[in-house]
Amino acid sequence: MNPFFLLQLFSLACMAGFIIAGTLVIRLFFSDPLLVVLGTLVLSLWPSGIVHAGRIGNEPMLYFLYGLGLLFICRWWVLGERRDFLVASVFAFLATICKATGLLVFAVLIACTYWPFGALPGRQPTKKIDQVVVAFLLVAACSITFLHPPFGPGGDDWLIGNSSQLVPEIMVGNKPVNFVRFNPVHFVTEPFVDSGDGASRHNVIHYLLKTSMFGAFAFTSESDGIAKVMSFMLLMILLYLLLSVIGRQRLSMTRFLPIYLSLAALVAAFFFVRYRLPTSANSDFRFIVPATISLTVLYVTAIGGHFAANRSAYAWIGVALMSAFLGLSSFFWLLAA
188-234 pLDDT tens trace: 998 888 765 667 788 899 999 999 998 877 787 778 899 999 999 99
Higher pLDDT, 137 or 202: 137
For the CA atoms of 101, 26, 35, 289, the dihedral, rounded to the nearest 10 degrees, stands at: 10
Helix then strand count (H, E) for the chain reads 15, 0
Residue 30 CB contacts under 8 Å (≥ 6 apart), including other chains: 36, 39, 300, 304
Burial label, 251 (beta-carbon count in 10 A; 0-12, 13-18, 19+): exposed
Strand pairing partners for 69? Answer: none
pLDDT at 193: 85
Decide: 42 and 322 in contact? Cβ < 8 Å: yes
The ranges assigned to domains in the chain are 3-336
Mean pLDDT value across residues 307-334: 92
pLDDT at residue 215, as a whole number: 84
Which tops the pLDDT comparison, 231 or 51?
A: 231
pLDDT > 70: what percent of the chain? 88
Amino acid 115 reads: W
Inform me whether the pLDDT recorded for 270 exceeds 80: yes
| The pLDDT of residue 150 is above 70 | no
Dihedral of the alpha carbons of 229, 231, 237, 240, in degrees to the nearest 10: -90
The whole-number pLDDT of residue 157 equals: 56
pLDDT above 90: percentage of residues in the chain:
54
Q: What's the pTM value of the predicted model, to 2 decimals? A: 0.91
Residue 267 CB-half CA count within 13 A: 13
Is 252 a residue whose pLDDT tops 60?
A: yes
Task: Tally Cβ neighbours within 10 Å of residue 171.
Answer: 15
Inform me whether the pLDDT recorded for 291 exceeds 90. Answer: yes
Residue 124 has a pLDDT of 67
Range of 3-7, 73-77, 123-127, 155-159 with top mean pLDDT: 73-77
Q: What is the pLDDT of residues 71-129, one digit of tens each?
A: 999 999 998 889 999 999 999 999 999 998 999 999 999 999 988 776 666 566 788 89
Nearest to 238 by CA among 168, 162, 184: 184
Cβ contact 122:154 at 8 Å: no
User: Please, which residues have CB within 8 angstroms of residue 216's CB and are 6 or more apart in sequence?
Assistant: 193, 194, 195, 207, 280, 281, 284
131 CB neighbour count, 10 Å cutoff:
16
Among 12, 5, 1, residue whose Cα is nearest residue 54: 12
* pLDDT at 172 exceeding the cut of 90: no
Could you give the CA distance from residue 201 to residue 194 in angstroms, rounded to a whole number? 7
At 24-44, the pLDDT tens digits run 999 999 999 999 999 999 999
Averaged over 293-306, what is the pLDDT? 93
User: Is residue 150 reached through a cis peptide bond, with omega within 30 degrees of 0 on the bond before it?
Assistant: yes
With 60 as the cut, is the pLDDT of residue 53 above it? Answer: yes
pLDDT given for residue 116 in this prediction = 76
- How high is the pLDDT of residue 151? 54
